[in-house]
Amino acid sequence: MHARRCRAYNKNVSTSILNADLHCHSVVSDGTLTPEELAVRAKANGVELWALTDHDEIGGQDRALAAAHANGMKYLTGTEISVTFANKTVHIVGLGFDAHDAQLVAGLHQTRGGRSERAQEMSEGLAKVGIHGAYEGALKYVGNPELISRTHFARFLVEAGVCQDTPEVFRRFLTEGHPGFVPHRWASLKDAVQWIVQAKGMAIIAHPARYGFTPNEEFALFTEFKNYGGEGVEVITGSHTPAEYVVYADMAQELDLFASRGSDFHSPNESRIDLGTLPWLPGQLTPVWEALAHRIQ
């Protein structure tokens, strides 16, 4: 019984008690704050170890590292890669990689490609239901021309008074079966995990409760992910309910995965969970930051 249980029993439980926030977004993807503003906010909320994880992008990493150090925080490099698995979009967080790794840089560039065209098609879909100028409207919120996302459309539709808030926009317009939804093929699970791993980082399944997979699909996701070299799962995230913390804490133990903690903060006005304010990781889990100690800057 099991290396896993022995390790859990022997490990120094206090390593779980660290205010690590290893998932958030800046204006380099679909957040509303700059890397510097996020660092100040994280520090004010007591974050000790921070990672900026922009979607499909690492253009903010040098600024985030400098801002972390300027605010007396430790830092792990980060990103959140969009993947297509079983016809759904899955997010894979990468942490602690070499941000100048050529294969990772190229893979992310390739993953971002096609976002503009997809956005034009989303705009055409919205025009058909009488919402005009959505592409141009969304662009006003975009900080990085290579990274126009559904979030930017959501902000425009709220501004235009079509919806009250961004969850309503997603519910009515931007998810499967609705007029602004355009199916898109992102990176493969295998490529995303391998880009991160060969760049000396750790691949982590982001917010697993969000995907709505059947138990069989979820099992396939975790199995393939591990086979490709993935090692971590987000347990404590702004996207999970307390009941889901328990489900995925069990899963982390069962599958011998390292556990991560991150708010998924995007904006002071939109995010339910602020930087650094989540519950601690359960003490029986081995935190990703223990396995990545040698990659912390």
User: Which two structure tokens, joined as six digits, stand for 257?
Assistant: 């995965």
**Total number of residues binding ligand AMP (CB under 6 A)?**
10
Q: Which stretch binds Mn ion (CB under 5 A): 24-32, 39-47, 162-170, 178-186?
A: 24-32
Burial of 196: CB neighbours in 10 Å, binned 0-12, 13-18, 19+: buried
Please give the DSSP secondary-structure letter assigned to residue 174: I
Q: Please report whether residue 43 would count as binding Mn ion according to CB under 5 A.
A: no
**Near Mn ion by CB under 5 A: residue from 57, 191, 234, 264:** 264
Nearer to Mn ion, 268 or 293 (CB): 268
* CA-based end-to-end distance of the chain: 35
Q: Please give the Cα distance from 193 to 215 (Å, whole number).
A: 22
Task: Indicate left, alpha or beta for 52 from its phi (over 0: left) and psi (-120 to 50: alpha).
Answer: beta
**Residues within window 201-220 making contact with Mn ion, judged by CB under 5 A:** 206
Taking CB within 5 to 8 Å according to partner kind, which of Mn ion, ligand AMP, none is near residue 170? ligand AMP
Find, among 97, 16, 103, the residue nearest to 52 by Cα.
97
Nearer to ligand AMP, 26 or 286 (CB): 26
**Residues within window 113-152 making contact with ligand AMP, judged by CB under 6 A:** 149-151
We find the least distance from the C-beta atom of residue 1 to Mn ion, in angstroms, to be 35
Burial of 11: CB neighbours in 10 Å, binned 0-12, 13-18, 19+: middle
Strand bridging mode 78-85 / 202-205: unpaired
Nearer to ligand AMP, 4 or 210 (CB): 210
We find the least distance from the C-beta atom of residue 197 to ligand AMP, in angstroms, to be 22
Taking CB within 5 to 8 Å according to partner kind, which of Mn ion, ligand AMP, none is near residue 263? none
Q: Please report whether residue 167 would count as binding ligand AMP according to CB under 6 A.
A: yes
Q: Please report whether residue 266 would count as binding ligand AMP according to CB under 6 A.
A: yes
Q: Please give the Cα distance from 251 to 222 (Å, whole number).
A: 10
Helix (H, G, I), strand (E, B) or coil at 122: helix
Task: Return residues touching ligand AMP (CB under 6 A).
Answer: 30, 55, 82, 149-151, 166-167, 170, 266
